[in-house]
Structure 1
Amino acid sequence: MNVTLRSSTALALVCGLAAGPALAGMEEARQFLDTEIDGMSTLTREEQEAEMQWFVDAAEPFRGMDINVVSETITTHEYESQVLAPAFAAITGINVTHDLIGEGDVVEKLQTQMQSGQNVYDAYVNDSDLIGTHWRYGQVRNLTDWMANEGADVTSPTLDLEDFIGTQFTTGPDGNLYQLPDQQFANLYWFRYDWFNDPEIKAAFQEEYGYELGVPVNWAAYEDIAEFFTGREIDGVEVYGNMDYGKKDPSLGWRYTDAWMSMAGMGDKGSPNGLPVDEWGIRVNEQSQPVGACVDRGGATNSPAAVYAVDKAIQWLQKYSPPSAAGMTFSEAGPVPGQGNIAQQMFMYTTFVAPLVDSPAVMNEDGTPKWRLAPSPHGVYWEEGMKVGYQDVGSWTLMNSTPVDRAKAAWLYAQFVTSKTVDVKKSDVGLTFVRESTIDSDHFTERAGRLGGLIEFYRSPARTAWSPTGTNVPDYPKLAQLWWQNIGDAMSGAKTPQEALDKLCADMESVMERLERAGVQGEFGPALNEQRDPSYWLEEQPGAPKPKLENEDEEPETIAYDELVKSWQQ
């Protein structure tokens, strides 16, 4: 993705400030505020300077230090690496190398540091999906304790944790904060608002399917709409009714663990994640110990609802998506709707909204979008009260194996790039919101009409219903890799969805069994149930795993977009 920076002159001024530690201070901070922030902040200029003065003073003991941090490659982190890291170095004298690598590589580096005890990076931006791992293993700094004790001298008085919208997802069951949100984005339904409201297209859909073309509420309607648009020519372009990706790659796993299975209706009711069975199909007991993933132990990873979820995704990828989609990864597929030939996408990671607004094929001349964002539809096994979608919360994480002085310097950088001085500008570039004050700012009130419903979503109570992976997952790095490997076999046709999911849940339980034997996660580690006949769980026990429905077809249902936006406020 391309990051939208300010002028090259402004960037040169920022980067040029990092001439050496001796120059660090408020003169450089003021120049940064003039050339880069330029008033785009929820703080007054006086408040901005006061916040920068605190960073200058707090960084004094670490001046001249070189630190290394890492994150995945998205627009927000490109901005941090290319603009904010040099600015931080200029202001504080702490030189930051902010590496950008694939998300799977971030997890691998984190896992290496956990296993070796060697300091690979001084801080990581890794998904809050690892909260169950961090809480159980005790290998990351408990930020609640850190801020009150060892890190108190480098914790900003203007950090304002209550202003962050995602800390509930980075807090363990013990009530302690383990990660600080840096960027946050949801999976939402994306569609061509202009086409859905074209009178001729609406009439053609009504005639063919017998109901109104609108935002699909359920998968049955999504499938009809996908079929209707695929192969249709609009404005001289051949259109596809679905966009997805299917390459056997780590990102294929996220495609399914990022709430696809719960949207289908695989798990249990509960907020922010299904309980006792979550969106990975993992069941936990009352002590939060994972007890199984396969149906014969009370899990749902290979349940009828899970098979339905995978089967539908494969069908739609093959029938309604561009032929190249099956060979794409997450990062390759994300920008495709911006090319102008996709009618709808079941869920779009909203990190891709930033490049979309720079795509002329899907934007009007006045800067408003031809598309809109809405809640994703749900599958036939879904029930009211179940998880409705996924929200990614990339968060700063400090490992216990990082030396204290390096952890302190990295913590200063983490707070700088999430500070109120910086956050509105960073959010303007990346559109990945973490602060309430930024979402409610005048700047985004003015920009809302050009972002297709993104601001309305984040200003509504509905945003809290979209959540990351929860604490049922005991070891994210070990278990996540099993998903893409096994789902990949289903995507390629090497196995049926049922066969692939049977293998997946068995592999997950093998990992949990090893963790149980090793006892490395203490009283909250896995304690697998005895295997039973699947009918015990499917027929005799409430909730997930659910028995196969006699008829997995349902009555299609759509809703007008404007009505749907109103429902977000409820």
Structure 2
Amino acid sequence: MNLSLKSTTAMGLALTLLGAPAFAGMEEAMQFLDNEIGDMSVLDRAGQEAEMQWFVDAAEPFAGMEINVVSETITTHEYESQVLAPAFTAITGIRVTHDLIGEGDVVEKLQTQMQSGENVYDAYVNDSDLIGTHWRYQQARNLTDWMEGEGADVTSPTLDLDDFIGIQFTTAPDGKLVQLPDQQFANLYWFRYDWFTDPDIQAEFKEEYGYDLGVPINWAAYEDIAEFFTGREIDGQQVYGNMDYGKKDPSLGWRYTDAWMSMAGMGDKGEPNGLPVDEWGIRVNENSQPVGACVSRGGAANSPAAVYAVEKAIEWLQKYTPPAAMGMTFSEAGPVPAQGNIAQQMFMYTTFVASLVEPGLPVMNEDGTPKWRLAPSPHGVYWEEGMKVGYQDVGSWTLMKSTPEDRAKAAWLYAQFVTSKTVDVKKSHVGLTFIRESSIQHDSFTERAPKLGGLVEFYRSPARVQWSPTGTNVPDYPKLAQLWWQNIGDAMSGAKTAQEALDSLCSDMESVLERLERAGIQGDIGPKMNEEMDPEDWLSQPGAPKAKLENEDEEPKTVSYDELIASWQ
């Protein structure tokens, strides 16, 4: 089976409306099922046809309407925009323009719509990281009530919310569903399995460091491995022991808010997010009201563990990473390991797996299996059992209340189409961003698993629930997220020390929290700031913020990859 986006685009182009009647309903649906879906679905052909017939019928009142939706630019959304949107248009008569822009731009457009009340887009694929924002501002449609009320006539009987693996992340503390997952990916540890299992390399590492080369359990082992590989020549290339990025850009903020601090051990225990202190260093009270971000108010964003996290990232960038990485963004750095000269990467977003499995790449074997593997990321010296292990991105369909009802209904039909059981297995093969349990368990992924380096095993394992998006402690993601890249960028450039940059960050975050408290616009779930205290009063208490350890070095630990995978099964 040819699963590349390139191969499927032709089908999408064939389904455009150029020179065609408004729409052809089931005739176009049958062509779509024949040419694009086939047996790549958890539904049999009769089930696919029944689901498509429902879309044709439900969309009839909206035929000829033009709607605009938006998402960030990743492989999954390229497939939706180039293939599924034209198919949906041909099948339903609803003309969809699915824009692809940067993630930061998506948040900016959403923020504009929230502030102006004007309908910028009819639907957004918006990260569930904004769940705390949507819950508090109440500007997004509550999908639980929508599906039972005004949206009931356009809610698919085969939607099957229980099949979505990320619903817990898109549900507010009041139990209401706010967003519908569209794509989901984790940040995992990536490494060259072929090098790590090479007997000569293993023997040399053991002789130099005194323990076995394997998947690092902690940052101490990761650092040893990074040092060991950097500067070596393997397969005619100079090798680096780490890959990351450091450009002062919005994506630099995600690098840290996306669980880097909790991986270091900054926050509290608790799943899906640390409580009362989360991975942003924001503390909440028993009513889920944010009360501070600086140590002086019980937060942890400028705590010793946070400083340790940033200092380690900068040190590894400078010592063990290709020099160009310091000037790269998220999207520029993601494909670099595919070039074949990176030994390991602690923080690999699995959305890039699709670009790492192309035939002929230096990191692929001739039989189509990868030379690399995925495993859980190691944790820092402040981390404790029971803490969040890593980040999981859940890009989710969000309908704003400022969108007119008829346009919201048409957009909701499109959102359900691209996440439907008919479509989802094929979409998952293209983008490798799983949202449905049924797709993960599909036989085609059992067949393909050996060629995906552990991704399928991870998503079928009980471990996956320990990876989570930003939680509800964050009351205004757009306003707070921009503070991270600006301040941490100062540490990256050397303009400030890590401590100075994080002191500035937490102070800036508290300024936003204080403004929200004064405005009172988030009611009794908005911020209610603690009085400032001597930081030592907080650091001497159990949990986060944690006092500086006398020795931030720890005994390095590794585990055999094969033993790790066996433990998942």
3-state SS of 1:365 partner: coil
Whether the 8 Å CA contact 2:13–2:86 is kept in 1: the answer is: no
Q: Where does the alignment leave 5 or more consecutive residues of structure 1 unmatched?
A: none
The alpha-carbon deviation at position 39 of structure 1 amounts to 1.8
The alpha-carbon deviation at position 379 of structure 1 amounts to 0.1
> How far apart, in 1, do the equivalents of 2:6 and 2:66 lie?
25
Q: Which residue of 1 aligns with 2:14?
A: 13
Q: Which residue of 2 aligns with 1:476?
A: 477
Equivalenced residues, count: 566
The Cα offsets for residues 23-49 of structure 1, whole Å up to 9 and x where unpaired, read as 331001000101111221110000000
The Cα offsets for residues 359-413 of structure 1, whole Å up to 9 and x where unpaired, read as 6110000000000000000000000000000000000000000000000000000
Whether the 8 Å CA contact 1:17–1:87 is kept in 2: the answer is: no
TM-score calculated relative to the size of structure 1: 0.98
Q: How does 1:254-293 map to 2 (within 5 A)?
A: 254-293=254-293
> How far apart, in 1, do the equivalents of 2:515 and 2:40 lie?
51
> How far apart, in 2, do the equivalents of 1:355 and 1:226 lie?
23
3-state SS of 1:59 partner: helix
1:103 is aligned to 2:103: yes
Amino acid at match of 2:519: A
The Cα offsets for residues 19-75 of structure 1, whole Å up to 9 and x where unpaired, read as 342x33100100010111122111000000000000000000000000000000000
Q: How does 1:517-536 map to 2 (within 5 A)?
A: 517-536=518-537
The alpha-carbon deviation at position 17 of structure 1 amounts to 7.9
Q: Where does the alignment leave 5 or more consecutive residues of structure 2 unmatched?
A: none
Whether the 8 Å CA contact 1:13–1:35 is kept in 2: the answer is: no
Q: Which residue of 2 aligns with 1:334?
A: 334
Whether the 8 Å CA contact 1:5–1:429 is kept in 2: the answer is: no
1:314 is aligned to 2:322: no
3-state SS of 1:68 partner: strand
Q: Which residue of 2 aligns with 1:379?
A: 380
Q: Which residue of 2 aligns with 1:498?
A: 499
3-state SS of 2:400 partner: coil
Q: Which residue of 2 aligns with 1:465?
A: 466
> How far apart, in 1, do the equivalents of 2:120 and 2:439 lie?
33
The alpha-carbon deviation at position 11 of structure 1 amounts to 3.7
Whether the 8 Å CA contact 1:3–1:78 is kept in 2: the answer is: no
Q: How does 1:396-475 map to 2 (within 5 A)?
A: 396-475=397-476
The alpha-carbon deviation at position 542 of structure 1 amounts to 1.3
3-state SS of 1:362 partner: coil
The alpha-carbon deviation at position 548 of structure 1 amounts to 0.1
| Runs of 4+ with deviation above 4 angstroms | none
> How far apart, in 2, do the equivalents of 1:8 and 1:464 lie?
34
3-state SS of 1:30 partner: helix
Q: 1:290 to 1:182 in 2, by over 3 A?
A: same
3-state SS of 2:362 partner: helix
Amino acid at match of 2:526: G
> How far apart, in 1, do the equivalents of 2:524 and 2:19 lie?
49
TM-score calculated relative to the size of structure 2: 0.98
Q: Which residue of 1 aligns with 2:172?
A: 172
Whether the 8 Å CA contact 1:14–1:35 is kept in 2: the answer is: no
The alpha-carbon deviation at position 329 of structure 1 amounts to 0.1
The alpha-carbon deviation at position 235 of structure 1 amounts to 1.2
3-state SS of 2:126 partner: strand
Higher deviation after alignment, 2-11 or 369-378: 2-11
Q: Which residue of 1 aligns with 2:516?
A: 515
> How far apart, in 2, do the equivalents of 1:166 and 1:318 lie?
36
> How far apart, in 2, do the equivalents of 1:448 and 1:460 lie?
13
> How far apart, in 1, do the equivalents of 2:214 and 2:10 lie?
46
The alpha-carbon deviation at position 564 of structure 1 amounts to 1.1
3-state SS of 1:530 partner: coil
1:31 is aligned to 2:42: no
> How far apart, in 2, do the equivalents of 1:300 and 1:567 lie?
33
Whether the 8 Å CA contact 2:248–2:489 is kept in 1: the answer is: yes
Whether the 8 Å CA contact 2:72–2:106 is kept in 1: the answer is: yes
The alpha-carbon deviation at position 268 of structure 1 amounts to 0.1
1:213 is aligned to 2:213: yes
3-state SS of 1:69 partner: strand
The alpha-carbon deviation at position 3 of structure 1 amounts to 6.0
> How far apart, in 1, do the equivalents of 2:444 and 2:205 lie?
39
Q: Which residue of 1 aligns with 2:130?
A: 130
3-state SS of 1:360 partner: coil
